[in-house]
Structure 1
């Protein structure tokens, strides 16, 4: 571990996190580690008894433990106790994060067009491009090879990592974080045929009627943009499409994982979690506080209620009520889906039993 990293005493860490330090509170650490891998200058993340059991395999002198933990029994010299250690890890990891090393100031190779407005202490990395009419809030970091398009507005404290693309008209509140490769404000996937298409026929007839001849697809241009609230995070290689006429909207506090697709005209509420490979079709709505597990999907014009949870790989083809926990394809109540899965696993045995019954009945008829 680099000697240039800052060190913190247990007392300083506890004070910053509003927690309790015990033992040798002057003990200093410069990083965090898993219990079995921790060195003497690291604080071990032994946040529950199962993790703490591995402390003897490492060299940690201090650990993050749960309230009431018998820290001395683990051979530690000190500890920080928390009623919710995983939440405490949020603050602790922020203290220990060395960052990506983005340099201050504007790199000579960056292009900042006339008419772009940069707030105080904005950092612009090599080969970044900021278009005319863009406004970048104070204290923001625009890393190398980032594209900030025409009339983009970013609130203070934005962190736009390498290679991200913010297309024309995107508006974001304070403290936006965009991971490498994400694209915000690309055109929506909107095409239409001169006559009724096979897809429209299939939907109207529930698949009984298709038979439409091949037709050219006419592009519907995206005239809206994307609006993001405060404290939004967008994961690596995720995409948020601009709206057709109105903006696609993502509410404050929403966290979007990597490889997520948010379609045109979608409205995502506040404090929503969209995990990896979630796909939201156009004009769908996600209520405040909803959680969509990895690979889950939402059909177009579908509403997911506030606080609803879609388990991994769940596909919602119709509206989901607020607070409902859903699973499966098509999505159904989690407890129902579990019973269906159990039933499917019993089918081979059921088939054998039915075959045995048929054979027994045949023997009985033959004995008459």
Structure 2
């Protein structure tokens, strides 16, 4: 891809500064930028390394003195990082998946593929599947019966989509994503040790040895529009009703969403996060890396759950949570400060105790 500075600035809705006819072929960090690269220097500290590279043009913050930085042109934005969304899309060369349907693909005769759908080598598409116009399906993908995928979606290699999964438009599923696998649902004929522990919060007493019986997953998965799911992530199907992921939600790599979970619109779930069965996540909620949400909880809207936190109870809307178990973020930080002070306090206590003992021995 090759763009002039003027074209990039026009796409961002801002004026091009300096020589707008300069051509850009890719983006680069300031110290490594060549003469046809757009240097990404979104903060003053990033711009300090511009002199180490050969950039003629840079993406800068509003009000930056681009001429003093030795540049011939610049694009300045109030939120340069947001501008990266547009620019990165323009210069992205893509993965190079071939158009058309590869002869090694196996497509059931009852499947419906709209115009301009691309299907890669060794992909299997099951009965009554419906694929929207302009969707690209890469190699070694399995799409089971009665699956629907909306238009202009991108399914990367190795994705597995089980039956009765419905995915909206403009979805992006990265490598080895699994959608619609069975939920982790098992039960014993009599009360199990797990059930007794939850009710007693302590001694389980005498536990009878029992085999686990499988509860089959009869529900499907419903995923909205503009959802992206990272590599090796999984969304389990519901037990009776469908597991749901709202439109605009972005899911990182290695994320687990359990059966019957409902994730609202425009949520972010970061790497190694997990949501246990039947929990509900409100819209615009962020679950940071390695955080976990226990089963059957309700998390409100606009909640932030910090990294490695364990949420064990319901969370009201608008709250920031951190820790194990997760509490209000400011409460956790104060507790952490107290924990760090504990060795000094213990030392002071020991000295005080020694002094009191000494005074007592003189009486």
TM-score normalised to the size of structure 2? 0.99
* From 265, 269, 277, the counterpart of 1:274: 269
1:159 paired residue number: 154
1:40 paired residue number: 35
2:198 paired residue number: 203
Is 1:26–2:14 an aligned residue pair? no
Three-state SS of the structure 2 residue aligned to 1:44 is strand
1:184 paired residue number: 179
Shift of 1:357: 1.8
Shift of 1:306: 0.1
2:256 paired residue number: 261
Shift of 1:347: 1.0
1:146 paired residue number: 141
Question: Is the contact made by 1:199 and 1:210 (CA closer than 8 Å) also made in structure 2?
Answer: no
Three-state SS of the structure 1 residue aligned to 2:68 is helix
The 5 A counterparts of 1:59-78 are: 59-78=54-73
Three-state SS of the structure 2 residue aligned to 1:222 is coil
Shift of 1:210: 4.9
Shift of 1:352: 1.3
Question: Is the contact made by 1:20 and 1:82 (CA closer than 8 Å) also made in structure 2?
Answer: no
Is 1:247–2:222 an aligned residue pair? no
List, as ranges, runs of 4+ consecutive aligned residues in structure 1 with deviation greater than 2 Å. 207-211
C-alpha distance in 2 between matches for 1:210 and 1:129:
51
Unaligned runs of 5+ in 2: none
* From 339, 345, 348, the counterpart of 1:350: 345
C-alpha distance in 1 between matches for 2:331 and 2:320:
10
Shift of 1:360: 1.5
Three-state SS of the structure 2 residue aligned to 1:171 is strand
C-alpha distance in 1 between matches for 2:88 and 2:237:
34
Q: Deviations over 1:21-63 (max 9, x none)?
A: 1100000010000001101110000111111111011110100
The 5 A counterparts of 1:106-185 are: 106-185=101-180
Shift of 1:211: 3.8
Q: Deviations over 1:282-335 (max 9, x none)?
A: 000100000000001100001111000001011110001100001000001111
Question: Is the contact made by 1:304 and 1:320 (CA closer than 8 Å) also made in structure 2?
Answer: yes
C-alpha distance in 2 between matches for 1:19 and 1:313:
40
1:8 paired residue number: 3
Question: Is the contact made by 1:202 and 1:210 (CA closer than 8 Å) also made in structure 2?
Answer: no
Three-state SS of the structure 2 residue aligned to 1:145 is coil
TM-score normalised to the size of structure 1? 0.97
Question: Is the contact made by 1:197 and 1:212 (CA closer than 8 Å) also made in structure 2?
Answer: yes
Q: 1:210 to 1:22 in 2, by over 3 A?
A: farther
- Matched residues, number: 363
Three-state SS of the structure 1 residue aligned to 2:16 is strand
Question: Is the contact made by 1:134 and 1:152 (CA closer than 8 Å) also made in structure 2?
Answer: yes
Is 1:83–2:78 an aligned residue pair? yes
Across the aligned residues of Structure 1 and Structure 2, the Cα RMSD in angstroms comes to 0.8
Shift of 1:20: 1.9
Unaligned runs of 5+ in 1: 1-5
C-alpha distance in 2 between matches for 1:364 and 1:76:
75
C-alpha distance in 1 between matches for 2:287 and 2:107:
38
C-alpha distance in 1 between matches for 2:152 and 2:160:
17
C-alpha distance in 1 between matches for 2:121 and 2:3:
33
Shift of 1:339: 0.5
